[in-house]
C-alpha cells in the first residue's frame, strides 16, 4: 500500500533553501511513496501554558492530526546558531503537549541545508535530542546535510538542481520508506 509521508519545514522565509529541498522530495520519492507538505508553522503562536489552558490553537491541532495520519515525517530545517531554529522548536513544543502525542512511535527523517560547509549537522543532533523525548523513531542513516546549498539551488526558479544532491536525497528517501514500513500496520 502507499506510504504517506509529510514534510515539516523549519524555515519561514519565501526564498528558503530548505523549502527548495522539501519541494524537491515528491519527485525523488521511490514508487509507492507519496510526499506532501504540512502547512507552515508560521501560524503557531509562542508556546504558553496559559494559552494552552484556554485551548490548543487550531493550527497546532490540525498539524497534529496530519502527523498522526501520516506514516512518516521528514523534518527539513536550517541550523540557527548551531541548533534548531526557535520557530521549529516552538512548533515541536506545542505538538508535544497534545494527547495522543503525534510523534510517539512516528518514523522521522531529518534533512538540513545551509550555505555553510557542513550543512546544518549540529542542528540535527539537537533535533534528535528533542525527538528522543517525543519518542519518535528517527532514521539514523543516511544523514542528509546539504552544505554549500546556494550553489545547488537555482537562483531563478529556487529548484534543487544539483544532481548529486538529488541522488543522495533519493537514497535517504528509499531507506526511509523501508524504515517507515516497519511501523506501518
Contacts to ligand FNR by CB under 6 A: 11, 13, 16-18, 78-82, 114-116, 120
Residue 7 vs 16, nearer CB to ligand FNR: 16
Listed in sequence order, the DSSP H helices in 29-162 are 49-53, 58-69, 86-96, 121-133
- Cα distance between residue 24 and residue 67, in whole Å: 20
Least Cβ distance, residue 50 to ligand FNR (angstroms): 27
Residue 64 vs 145, nearer CB to ligand FNR: 145
Q: Which residues are CB-neighbours of 83 under 8 A, at least 6 positions away?
A: 122, 123, 126
Least Cβ distance, residue 15 to ligand FNR (angstroms): 7
Residue 77 vs 172, nearer CB to ligand FNR: 77
Least Cβ distance, residue 25 to ligand FNR (angstroms): 14
Neighbours of 36 (CB within 10 A): 12
Amino acid at each position: 500500500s502507499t506510504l504517506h509521508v509529510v514534510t515539516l519545514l523549519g524555515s519561514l522565509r519565501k526564498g528558503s533553501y530548505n523549502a527548495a529541498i522539501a519541494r524537491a522530495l515528491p519527485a525523488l520519492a521511490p514508487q509507492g511513496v507519496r510526499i506532501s507538505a504540512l502547512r507552515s508553522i508560521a501560524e503557531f503562536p509562542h508556546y504558553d501554558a496559559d494559552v494552552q489552558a484556554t485551548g490548543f490553537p487550531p493550527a497546532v491541532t490540525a498539524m497534529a492530526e496530519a502527523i498522526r495520519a501520516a506514516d512518516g515525517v521528514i523534518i527539513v530545517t536550517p541550523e540557527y546558531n548551531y541548533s534548531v531554529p526557535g520557530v521549529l522548536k516552538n512548533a515541536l513544543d506545542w505538538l508535544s503537549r497534545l494527547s495522543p502525542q503525534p510523534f510517539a512511535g512516528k518514523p522521522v527523517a531529518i534533512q538540513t541545508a545551509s550555505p555553510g560547509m557542513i550543512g546544518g549537522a549540529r542542528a540535527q543532533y539537537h533535533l534528535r535530542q528533542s525527538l528522543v523525548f517525543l519518542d519518535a523513531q528517527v532514521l539514523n542513516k543516511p544523514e542528509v546535510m546539504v552544505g554549500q546549498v546556494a550553489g545547488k539551488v537555482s537562483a531563478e526558479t529556487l529548484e534543487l538542481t544539483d544532481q548529486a544532491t538529488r541522488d543522495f536525497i533519493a537514497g535517504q528517501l528509499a531507506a526511509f520508506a523501508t524504515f517507515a514500513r516497519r511501523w506501518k500496520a
